[in-house]
Structure 1
Amino acid sequence: MKNMNIKWTLLLAAMFSFAACDTDVEYDIPEVEAPVLVSTTPEANAAKVKKGEITIEVKYDKNVFFATEDLKQISFTGGTLISADVYGSSNVLALTVNVPERETLCTLSIPEGVVLGPNKMPAPAVSLQFTTIALDKTPVMAVSTNAVKLYDYLLANYEKKVLSGMMAKESWNTDMAERVYEWTGKYPALNTFDYGHLAWSLAGANWINYGDITPVKNWADNHGIVSCMWHWNVPKFAPLEESIAATVWEGEKSTGNWAESIDLRKSEGFDTSVFDNAKAGDYIIVKVKDLDAAVGWWQGSVKNASWTDLVTGSGVVELTSAQTSYAVRLTEDALNEVKENGLVISGCNHTVTGVYIGTPATVYDLGTDYTYKPDETTFDAANATVEGTWENKVFTSDMAAVAGYLKLLKDAGIPVLWRPFHEAAGKWFWWGKDAASHKAMWIAMFNYFKAQGLDNLIWVWTTETGDEDWYPGDQYVDIIGRDIYSKDAETCASQYAAISATYGNKIVALSECGTVGKISEQWAAGARWTWFMPWYDGEGEDGSPIVHADEVWWKDAMEQSYVITRDEVPSME
């Protein structure tokens, strides 16, 4: 048995030796073509590539291989080549480069054979050119000489210097800017005014009048840059339409200064049967016109036949210049009085054109019926641009009013950094319902203001970051703003970098801030805002002070050589 095993072993060895010595055997290795370039990202000669860290993808028609030690054979000009790799089994070579500047011509060169295909077939050489994005050189709407000069001034200083700015305190003023001057001996370069009290201004309130542009003009005349925004307060509910049940009297009667009246008393021959179908809860509606603006005060009056108040307070009804009517609600006693004896209409400084019974159109209470908070109003932003809705009536009439006020600034030669619908994606304002309605309103306002000839506006859109789907579009926006509160300098700089990367062709501003890192710290961390603007100080609900930028913060800002103050701003004439 042992001898038999030895024989088999010798036989197998002989067979192996014979096979190993057979050098005439041929093996067929399939031929594979070299990889072919399919595309690159960015594309060849692309002209709007973001600056900063960029990923370049070179795509072939088949899987490729790259040895990281061959990185030195790849050439890149215009910035720094950081890495190149093929991740896993892939037909894409991914390269990371850093291009720190805008408008930089970049060239990538990959020699033949540095990238290999299957069976080590050499990929052909690749050459790619692209240019990093430039800042938009022309405003999207502004064509007036002074507005173009302002935009050019912002461009010239962007990322080299930063404009100091301050928010007006609630009303139409530069009070907070004056305080900055008291602290630092310098005025901020920019002051922001707010049309937030539009309804009050239109109603003739004695504490706010956007038709008086004196504070704005004084600021601009001293080379201050003007910024305007709009905390848009809308009614909390839909208005009721006027309904007339009966006509009591029509004509025209000027009241003078309580000199004339409309005598509708039964004792003077007036037929009081007109009141027969009236009921308690109906209104006496008095239509008025010609409220003399030169006088500045107007009063209506509804009295009984004895010349005393028909209802409490109706003897003297305060009017505003915007009113076209006023109304007095009939109580049961008042109804019986007019049925039996009639009434007297009088007042001062207007003309009465009619007296009616019915339900008046809603007159909103300025103290209680307006808000910008979405949970306090039935105003639906999606309906703002839908004709026939009550929201659209408010939207269009308010826009017309603000356009009229902005035209006063245009006529005075004042360019305006215009920032409406701010912080929309935060959703804490009614205009932040959703991206679609926000963009629709922005574009509607843009087109309307353009049609009104407001060529002095530079449009500022406020991002919440990560809200690109809310962006109206490059053709509607000049500057990107960011509002930041209670963040340190590093966070502010990080926000700046992210926004600048996303909107590389736009100037970026710190459009609002409060309790943030010092400007010197932000600048050192890389934030290159075109301007910064702390919000005004105020009080909390408990009366405690809210300070957004204290004296130490402002002194730090104004001491920096790269911070522009008002005395350094040139004329925009």
Structure 2
Amino acid sequence: MRNLLFMVCCILLATCCSKKEITQEQIAPELASSVPFNGAVEIANGIQKIELIFNQSIKIANASAIKLNDKSVEKVDVSVNTVIITVMLQPATQYELLILKEAISNTNNATLKADIRILFSTKKIVAHASELITPNSSPEVQKLFQFLKETYGQKVISGTMANVSWNIEEADWVHAQTGKYPALNCFDFIHHIYSPADWINYENTEVVEKWWRNNGIVSAMWHWCVPKDMKVSNPTEFAFYTKDTSFDISKINDPNSPEYKLMIKDIDIISGYLKLLQNKNIPVIWRPLHEAAGNTNSYVGGTGWFWWGAKGPEPCKTLWKLMFERMTNYHKLNNLIWVWTSQGNDFDWYPGDAYVDLVGRDLYPETNIHDSQLTEFNKVKTIVAGKKMIALSECGGIPDPGLMFEKGDTWLWFMPWYGDFTRDNKQNGAAYWKTVMNNVNVITRDQMPSLK
């Protein structure tokens, strides 16, 4: 009898254990669906959310065990039965999302039965602007623009700013420190009111010609100086900051006003200088009226710090369009690629797709100056609905090129301002420039193709 009871107890115990094992298997979380699904193609790039939907409530047991292309993801959230992974996806890329079985568990701490693998690929780079806005653009402009399109998202072009006006002093300094020239140099027509003079003469294009002959990209901007006081008949004092001049851009709507006539006169002068470069078959990345919005949309009481933004977006957009029409149709300039500079919150200042080839953003962070600037990049991207390529048209510290391509703020080019912003160790300096110019993601002048 005892033997019989012992056998019954053993059977009952075995049955209980078996049921317990089955119960543990049954409660292990199982993936019900995912977005994107395994094998998906043509997934949008940029910041995206991957969603994994399970058959029960779950939690993250080990976030480091969630990997995208062998790298642990940085941002993982859970909502009841859904894991939400925020990632930056690069265009034209094959991805494998690997969820190791110890990564996820249910509320009873039961983990996955097996690893989960989800394969997907992203869309190719969109042709952000398949055509230039200038009709019958010169062959050199077309070649340069094609090069920019092929580069965007794949590499970043290195750049320097002229030391105030019409030179390559900062580019020479970078070369002396690193053995390499930046691929782009930006010039400034800031002194047009004095040219020609023995110290500044924009009619002498030799420095620009030499840069172009050496396969450098030519860019130009214009700190547009106007009389401080328009009531003075023969002014000797000029300024471009709003606080320093009474110049009224709203007169752009009054062709009989002295302000309108001066704006036309100055546009014609600059067009003449740009025409000299066109006659030399030199394309120019042209960035006028930069940072127009200033702080207008940043806080109550904000203003446009340059006179061209002092009266709000509408006069400034009118001036932009007038400049484009006069340079393109009246002066027949076809060697320009037009760059509008955004403040990241100024959609209402955008002249429109028909008047802009590229978009720039000027950034001077005071902390973490070499970090990724993805947030600002995406702000500008939103303003132009992803239709235009985006450049870091001015900066203090150059963002780490490695972080650019890791995080996704793949600027078309970077260009620190001159002086201390280029040379001082607190911003960039010789050692950091060496690191940047030797980064595999950075294009230097020696790597540039001939676009002639």
Moved more, 210-219 or 524-533: 524-533
Q: Deviations over 1:363-419 (max 9, x none)?
A: 221xxx100011111101111342011110110000000000000000000000000
Q: Is the 8 Å Cα contact of residues 211 and 405 (structure 1) preserved in structure 2?
A: yes
Q: Is the 8 Å Cα contact of residues 480 and 509 (structure 1) preserved in structure 2?
A: yes
Aligned to 1:159: 153
Whole-Å Cα distance in 2 between the matches of residues 403 and 494 of structure 1?
A: 36
CA distance 1:205–1:157, change in 2 (3 Å): same
Aligned to 1:415: 283
Whole-Å Cα distance in 2 between the matches of residues 97 and 186 of structure 1?
A: 38
Please show how residues 235-254 of structure 1 align to structure 2 within 5 Å. 235-239=227-231
2:130 to 132, 137, 152: 137
Whole-Å Cα distance in 2 between the matches of residues 68 and 465 of structure 1?
A: 39
Aligned partner of residue 227 in structure 1, secondary structure: strand
Aligned partner of residue 480 in structure 1, secondary structure: strand
Percent pairwise identity: 39
Aligned to 1:440: 318
Whole-Å Cα distance in 1 between the matches of residues 218 and 346 of structure 2?
A: 27
* Amino acid corresponding to residue 154 of structure 1 in structure 2: L
Aligned to 1:325: none
Aligned partner of residue 210 in structure 2, secondary structure: helix
* Amino acid corresponding to residue 480 of structure 1 in structure 2: V
* Amino acid corresponding to residue 524 of structure 1 in structure 2: E
Aligned to 2:260: 392
Q: Is the 8 Å Cα contact of residues 537 and 547 (structure 1) preserved in structure 2?
A: no
Aligned to 1:499: 380
Moved more, 377-386 or 394-403: 377-386
Whole-Å Cα distance in 2 between the matches of residues 188 and 133 of structure 1?
A: 27
Q: Deviations over 1:77-102 (max 9, x none)?
A: xxxxx99x9xxxxxxxxx99999466
Aligned to 1:515: 397
CA distance 1:68–1:471, change in 2 (3 Å): farther
Q: Determine if the alignment matches structure 1 residue 383 to structure 2 residue 251.
A: yes
Please show how residues 27-176 of structure 1 align to structure 2 within 5 Å. 52=46, 100=89, 134-141=127-134, 143-176=137-170
State the shift of 1:492 in Å: 1.4
Q: Determine if the alignment matches structure 1 residue 531 to structure 2 residue 410.
A: no
Moved more, 373-382 or 405-414: 373-382
Moved more, 394-403 or 135-144: 135-144
Q: Is the 8 Å Cα contact of residues 361 and 392 (structure 2) preserved in structure 1?
A: yes
Q: Determine if the alignment matches structure 1 residue 184 to structure 2 residue 178.
A: yes
Q: Is the 8 Å Cα contact of residues 196 and 230 (structure 1) preserved in structure 2?
A: yes
Whole-Å Cα distance in 2 between the matches of residues 182 and 374 of structure 1?
A: 38
* Amino acid corresponding to residue 412 of structure 1 in structure 2: K
Whole-Å Cα distance in 2 between the matches of residues 466 and 141 of structure 1?
A: 27
Aligned to 1:562: 441
Aligned partner of residue 384 in structure 1, secondary structure: helix
Q: CA RMSD in A?
A: 3.1
Aligned to 1:212: 204
* Amino acid corresponding to residue 446 of structure 1 in structure 2: F
Whole-Å Cα distance in 2 between the matches of residues 547 and 131 of structure 1?
A: 38
Q: Determine if the alignment matches structure 1 residue 222 to structure 2 residue 104.
A: no
Q: Is the 8 Å Cα contact of residues 173 and 215 (structure 1) preserved in structure 2?
A: yes
Q: Deviations over 1:439-496 (max 9, x none)?
A: 1111110111111111110001111001111000011111110111125344512212
Q: Determine if the alignment matches structure 1 residue 363 to structure 2 residue 357.
A: no
Aligned partner of residue 174 in structure 2, secondary structure: helix
CA distance 1:168–1:69, change in 2 (3 Å): same
Whole-Å Cα distance in 2 between the matches of residues 548 and 535 of structure 1?
A: 10
Whole-Å Cα distance in 1 between the matches of residues 156 and 441 of structure 2?
A: 6
Aligned to 2:364: 485
State the shift of 1:549 in Å: 2.7
CA distance 1:564–1:491, change in 2 (3 Å): closer
CA distance 1:392–1:68, change in 2 (3 Å): farther
State the shift of 1:546 in Å: 9.6
CA distance 1:569–1:516, change in 2 (3 Å): closer
Q: Is the 8 Å Cα contact of residues 500 and 508 (structure 1) preserved in structure 2?
A: yes
Q: Is the 8 Å Cα contact of residues 89 and 408 (structure 2) preserved in structure 1?
A: no
Q: Is the 8 Å Cα contact of residues 53 and 96 (structure 1) preserved in structure 2?
A: no
Aligned to 1:116: none
Q: Deviations over 1:270-312 (max 9, x none)?
A: xxxxxxxxxxxxxxxxxxxxxxxxxxxxxxxxxxxxxxxxxxx
State the shift of 1:523 in Å: 3.5
Whole-Å Cα distance in 2 between the matches of residues 537 and 371 of structure 1?
A: 21
State the shift of 1:171 in Å: 2.7
Q: Is the 8 Å Cα contact of residues 402 and 441 (structure 2) preserved in structure 1?
A: no
TM-score normalized with structure 2 length: 0.69
State the shift of 1:524 in Å: 3.2
* Amino acid corresponding to residue 565 of structure 1 in structure 2: T
Q: Is the 8 Å Cα contact of residues 229 and 235 (structure 2) preserved in structure 1?
A: no
State the shift of 1:54 in Å: 7.5
Q: Deviations over 1:406-434 (max 9, x none)?
A: 00000000000000000111111111121
2:332 to 433, 453, 473: 453
State the shift of 1:219 in Å: 0.4
Q: Determine if the alignment matches structure 1 residue 232 to structure 2 residue 111.
A: no
Aligned to 1:257: none
CA distance 1:375–1:189, change in 2 (3 Å): same
State the shift of 1:501 in Å: 3.8
Whole-Å Cα distance in 2 between the matches of residues 178 and 470 of structure 1?
A: 36
State the shift of 1:527 in Å: 1.9
* Amino acid corresponding to residue 278 of structure 2 in structure 1: K
State the shift of 1:525 in Å: 3.0
Aligned to 2:451: 572
Aligned partner of residue 425 in structure 1, secondary structure: coil
Structure with larger Rg: 1
Aligned residues: 338
State the shift of 1:502 in Å: 3.6
Q: Deviations over 1:521-546 (max 9, x none)?
A: 4343322111100110159xxxxx79
* Amino acid corresponding to residue 341 of structure 2 in structure 1: T
Aligned to 2:59: none
Whole-Å Cα distance in 2 between the matches of residues 552 and 525 of structure 1?
A: 23
Give unmatched runs, 5+ long, in structure 1.
1-48, 56-66, 71-81, 86-94, 105-129, 241-361, 540-544
Aligned to 1:15: none
Aligned to 2:305: 428
CA distance 1:418–1:385, change in 2 (3 Å): farther
CA distance 1:178–1:239, change in 2 (3 Å): same
* Amino acid corresponding to residue 414 of structure 2 in structure 1: F
Aligned partner of residue 394 in structure 2, secondary structure: strand
Whole-Å Cα distance in 2 between the matches of residues 214 and 131 of structure 1?
A: 40
Whole-Å Cα distance in 1 between the matches of residues 319 and 242 of structure 2?
A: 16
Whole-Å Cα distance in 2 between the matches of residues 475 and 103 of structure 1?
A: 28
